Each structure stands twice: as C-alpha cells, then as structure tokens.
Amino acid sequence: MAGQRIGAHVDQQDPVAEATARGADLAQFFLGDPQGWKGPVVQYDGGPDALRAAATSAGIDLYIHAPYVLNVATTNNRIRIPSRKLLQQQVDAAAGIGAKALIVHGGHVLKADDPAAGFDNWRKCVERLEMKVPLLIENTAGGDNAMARMLERIAKLWEAIGSADGGDSVGLCLDTCHAHAAGEELGSLVDRARAVTGRVDLVHANDSRDPFGSGADRHTNLGTGSVGADNLVAVVRAAGTPVVVETPGGVEGQAADIAWLRDRGI
C-alpha cells in the first residue's frame, strides 16, 4: 500500500467502525446537525474520550467537517457572528476527540457586496479563533460571490488570512468535484493551488455527476462521472496528502472507491 492515507465521510455514531468496514485509514464526519446551528455533539458511546481512545487503538485518523450553515465571510451580522461562535465550538470539539483537522467551506458575501469584505471578515475570524486544531478551508463548486470557488479568489483569501495572527494554522482542502464544477482544470490544479496558498493539506476525491464548469455540487463514485480517472488520480497523487471520498453508496460504494484509488497506486 502506498503512503497516502485514504478514508471516507461516514456516519457520526461510530466513525471508527464505519472506517474499519470500508478498509479505511481515516474517517471524516459531522459533530451534530450539518444544517443546524446547535453546538457540536459527540454521538459516540462514552463521549469524546472514548472516541479518541477507540480511534487511536484502531489506527484511524479523525477529521471533522463543520456544519454547512457556517459563513464567517458574510456581511450579515445575524449569520457571521453566530458562525464565528459555532466555528470555535467546532474547533474545541474537534480537539477534544483528537481530530487531525476541521474542514469548513469558504462561505460567500451578499450579491451587492465587494468580495474584499468577505476576505477581511475571514481575517478577523482567524485572528479571534483559538486554533486548537488546523482549520482547512475547502474550495466550493458554485456561487458568484463565493470566497473559495476559483483559485483567483482563493489567492485573495489567502492574502488576507496570511496577515492574521494564527493564519499559519489555516490550510487548504481541495475537492475534485468542486474544482471541476467550478471550471478549474484538474491536471495542474495542485501546482496552481500551491502557487497561491503554499500548501494543500487534504483532498476530497469525488467524481462529478455534472459537466465541467456547471457550478453543480453533485458527487458520484470515482470513475463513473465527468471528472475523468486521469484527472482524479493526478490531483490525489500530486497533493500527496490524506484523501477523503465523499461519495454515495454507503459502505459498499465508498469501499469500492477507496479500492479504486489504491488500485492506481495511491
């Protein structure tokens, strides 16, 4: 087996068992409702300490995905301020279970806003966060006012974050489906991403149900969509990072996708 660790986004009840069932090295999961504003909850029997111990014993790395509702970039105070609070709660909870990192979407600003306001809001957020685990910002598939859809925007986001205390604890999570849907060529994606951020920390390896540049965030199993096998492998191999599949099909579908990557020398 090659050196890269590969896993899947799984149910949060028992992520260690879910990873083991898939033959995975790592598990990514939510802590609570991904569409809600309530604080994080560890559903594993025995709580955070028991989950941390079980993962260590099984050799499974844990990654947490923040709720989708978070948007620390927005100029809407009723969204931005609760987002900052919830993000800190997620960081704290991720640290409590020994997670390797917390993944969060880049968010967006309102239609009439200058994107610069969103970049600066990210800077302020990072400066105020107690960064107990690395925070990985994920590129997104669509949205004209998204902070992290295209590399041009990601470059400006990183410029803002780089000026913040704690900015060196912020990394990049590259999603292959999102990049393809956004209209970014995958063959050179990792090199171009590193040119503007200096790093790639995690890859979400997902095929896309929709065509290049569609803006649609619809994942499908590896080798069955429009991304192309060569492009998928190129991104994963060039990144050399841990890999998460966020694909359908439960244990069977995701185990097949993990095997698909390993069969190609990942």
Amino acid type, 236? V
Q: Is the pLDDT of residue 261 over 60?
A: yes
Alpha carbons 30 and 39: distance in angstroms, whole number: 11
Which tokens belong to 165? 């205390």
Domain-wise residue ranges, the chain: 6-263
- Tell me the per-residue pLDDT of 184-231, one tens digit each, with 9 for 90 and over: 999 999 999 999 999 999 999 999 999 999 999 999 999 999 999 999
Q: What local confidence, expressed as pLDDT, does residue 225 receive?
A: 97
Q: What local confidence, expressed as pLDDT, does residue 143 receive?
A: 85
Q: Is the pLDDT of residue 53 over 50?
A: yes
Amino acid type, 175? D
Alpha carbons 18 and 122: distance in angstroms, whole number: 34
Given a contact cutoff of 8 angstroms between Cβ atoms, the answer to whether 177 and 186 are in contact is no
Given a contact cutoff of 8 angstroms between Cβ atoms, the answer to whether 258 and 229 are in contact is no
CATH number of 6-263: 3.20.20.150
**What pTM value is reported for the model?**
0.97
Q: What local confidence, expressed as pLDDT, does residue 1 receive?
A: 39
Q: pLDDT-based confidence at 247, cuts 50/70/90?
A: very high
- Tell me the per-residue pLDDT of 94-134, one tens digit each, with 9 for 90 and over: 999 999 999 999 999 999 999 999 999 999 999 999 999 99
Q: Is the pLDDT of residue 181 over 80?
A: yes
State the DSSP H helix or E strand holding residue 220, giving kind and residue range, or none if neither: strand 219-220
